[in-house]
Structures are given as C-alpha cells and as structure tokens.
Amino acid sequence: MKEIILCKYGEIILKGANRSRFESILMREVKRRAARVGKFDVRAAQSTMYITPLTDFEDMDEMYNQAMHVFGFVGVSRAAVAEKTMEDICRVAREYLPSYLANAKRFRAEAKRSDKKFPLKSPEIAAEVGGVILSMRPDLKVDLDRPDVTVRIEIRDTAAYIHAGQDRGAGGIPLGSGGRGLLLLSGGIDSPVAGYMMARRGLALDALYFESIPYTSDRAREKVASLAKILTEYLGPIRMHVISLTKIQEAIRDNCDEDYFTLLLRRYMMRLSCRIAKVCGAEALVTGESLGQVASQTLAALTVTEAVSDKLIFRPCIGMDKEEIIGISRKIGTFETSILPYEDCCTVFTPRHPKTQPVLEKVVEQEQKIDYDALLEDAWASRYSILIPQFED
C-alpha cells in the first residue's frame, strides 16, 4: 500500500494572476527540505502539493514534520493511494484505516470528488466507505457533528486518496514571497515571535544581535544563536550578524544624562541595523516592540528611535499583550530558551528613571555630548556573522 503526504494550500489560492509565482516559491521550499530528508517526488495540482516517497525506506515522519513547518499550507495529512474504483478504494480503506480508528468511538466519512467523471457522487462515496468501516468496527457510531475521527476520501486527477485526520499547517504565505527583512534578535521572548510572525507573511530574514562584552557573556550570545536555531525550523538557514555596543554604552554612560541612556543606545542600534540591512539586502527591519510594554516602547520613545531609521520597521507584536506573545512563543518552541537567565545588552546600565516622553530636540542635544561618528564606525568595525544551519550535516 502506497502512502503519500498531501499539503493543502491556504491563501495562495486567492492570488489570481500572481498565483504561479507564490506556488513556485512554495515548491522550491518543499523540494529544498525534501532533498535533506530523503528521496521524494514533489508535484502540485488542484491547490494541493503531493509529496511522494520514491522508495519504501524514506523517513515519512520527518518529511511530515518538515511539511508542517512550511508557510503556505493550511492542512497537512498522510494519505493512502488507491485506484479510482470503489473496489480499490474500499480495499485500501480496510487496510489503512484500522490504526487510525483504534481509539475512536465516533467517526464520520466525507468525500470530495474533484474528478466529476467518477461514477459515484460524494455522498455515495462517503456512505460506501462508511459501510466498510462499520463492517470492520460495528461498535463505532456515526457522528457527523462531534466525531473522534474524520475519514476523508478524495477523488483527484490521477488517483484516489484516503486519510483520517488532517493537521493544521503553518499557514501564511511562502517564505521569501514578501521580500527580505532584518530581525533585531535579542534574548527575550518578543523578538523571536516577531520574526516568526513576519516570516509567516513571506518575509525571509537575516538576524542581528547586539552584544556588550564583558557586560554580556558568550552564554548570552549562545542563547540567541539557540533561538535562531529554533526559528530555522520555519525559516531555513539564518545568517546572524553580531555587533558590539560596549564602547557606545560606556561613552553614553560617562557623558550623557542617565535618563536618556536607553533612548540614545536604541538610536545607535537603529543606525547600525540600517547599515547591516543594506549589506544583506534587507528592505525592512523587524523588532519585537509592543506599545507601552517598557519605557522605551511608548509612542514618544518609538518616534524618537525611529527618526534615525531609513528603513521600514515592522513591529508585529505592537498591539499584543505579554500573554499573547508568550502563547505564540510556546507554540513555536522558543519560550523555554527565551527565559534562560543570561544578560541582554539592553539591560546593561539601565537608567533608574528612563525618559518615557522624550522630546527629539533634547535627545539630539544629548547625542552631541559624545563622538557620534567615531563610535558608530568603531561598532561597525566589530561586526561579524554566523550562519545558523537548519540541518546538521
């Protein structure tokens, strides 16, 4: 009995004349992942991608896991393949479905007949397969409203497919279809969530981490690299750029009013982020900022920070509360790493009473107390990058 993976499209089907572009990007991503798992054929038809193992020894569990992390699919299922005859469909149902029904008490059967030449209509196909199931398991009850298992029969172009249970896919649109961005990745909870959310909207990402050695440790950088590694499950390989802010922070501490420390630091971070974005071809910055969450994320503070950026800034968490952000971080697997107790550059020299309603002119006055250009160039010279792979060789 042959088994394949069916991946159902989401909003790609609404793209009209541009649909082929999105489908091509999606196909390329699936083939990239499949090539690292084993030998699979990947084809697309009728708003579905078919992933077929080419030998009996391929790792279907891992291929299924990979498909579940591909943006663009709303549903993923394993399905048995049958010839387009009711005799073969019923035979395959008898062989394939018992393990899926083992713990069920209620079920429903439904069919979709994309091939209108098939002699039976959808309700008739479902009724016949339902009868097969009841002949095997007379203790089961048919429940159309609250089934434990929904068995689906799909009559498509070249074959019939039988599956019992479809998992919700990653959704969104294909990675890379929305351009490229630069994620400002800290060790906190918010920024990995922001990266995931923008990648789900098709934005391919590089990452940028700011360190402040000796005030931050190697373990802090390793923590951020671990967060990037988790994100590769959705984003593929990530290039993580690293810049040192130590001299900038010390200069601000020694020469500027304490209340302005965080604002001045974040303006430097924005300037450096824009330069890195130009190098890596990113068209926008992505941050984990949430309005009002901390002093540097008031409307006035965000305005002052954004004033030095020449790039569009995406803030997908801006209207979310902390519990909502934590919920997504748990879903994507970053939460437990994010709460590890290692330093973050933004927590170094934190002012006791930070400005929450800054005036731009006053901030600029503070900047003039330090050698802005020299500090910027010194930080820029410290940059290096690390490639975070998705798969280990």
pLDDT in tens, 105-125: 999 999 999 999 999 999 999
Instruction: State pLDDT tens for residues 40-69.
Output: 999 999 899 999 999 999 999 999 999 999
359-369 pLDDT per residue, tens: 999 999 999 99
CA angle 319, 299, 277 (to 5 degrees): 80
Residue 354: pLDDT above 90? no
Q: Is the pLDDT of residue 38 over 90?
A: yes
Q: Taking 90 as the threshold, does the pLDDT of residue 210 lie above it?
A: yes
Q: Does residue 224 contact residue 288 with C-beta atoms inside 8 Å? A: no
**What per-residue confidence (pLDDT) applies to 83?**
96
Identify the structural domains of the chain with CATH numbers, from first to last.
Answer: 3-168 (3.30.2130.30), 180-388 (3.40.50.620)
Supply φ then ψ for residue 100, to 5 degrees. -75, -25
List phi, psi (to 5°) of 151.
-95, 130
**Cβ–Cβ under 8 Å, residues 238 and 231:** yes
Token code pair at residue 280: 């890596």
Taking the whole predicted model, whether its pTM rises above 0.75 is answered as yes
Task: Label each residue of 332-363 as H, E or C.
Answer: HCCHHHHCCCCCCHHHCCCCCCCCCCCCHHHH
* Interatomic CA distance for residues 229 and 392, integer angstroms: 11
**Angle, nearest 10°, between helix axes 218-235 and 190-199?**
20
Whether the per-residue pLDDT at 177 is higher than 90: the answer is yes
Mean pLDDT value across the chain: 94
Element (H, E) at 21: helix 19-37
The DSSP call for residue 76 is E
What is the Cα–Cα distance from 50 to 32, expressed in whole angstroms? 15
Q: What is the DSSP string of 287-333?
A: ----TTSSGGGSHHHHHHHHTT--SEEE-TTTT--HHHHHHHHHHHT
pLDDT band at 353 (very low <50, low <70, confident <90, very high): confident
Report the range of poorest mean pLDDT among 16-20, 193-197, 384-388: 16-20
Give the span between the Cα atoms of 223 and 200, in whole angstroms: 23
Average pLDDT over residues 71-76: 97
Asked if 30 contacts 36 with a C-beta cutoff of 8 angstroms, the reply is no
Provide mean pLDDT across the span 72-78.
97
What pLDDT sits at residue 352?
82
pLDDT tens digits, one per residue of 296-325: 899 999 999 999 999 999 999 999 999 999
| Digit-coded pLDDT (tens) for 83-92 | 999 999 999 9
**Residue 346: predicted pLDDT:** 67
In this prediction, residue 345 has a pLDDT band, given cuts at 50, 70 and 90, of: low
| Mean pLDDT confidence for 235-246 | 97
Query: Using 50, 70 and 90 to split pLDDT, how confident is the model at 350?
Result: confident
pLDDT value at 232 more than 80: yes
Cis peptide before 354 (omega within 30 of 0): no
Burial class (CB in 10 A: 0-12, 13-18, 19+), 15: middle
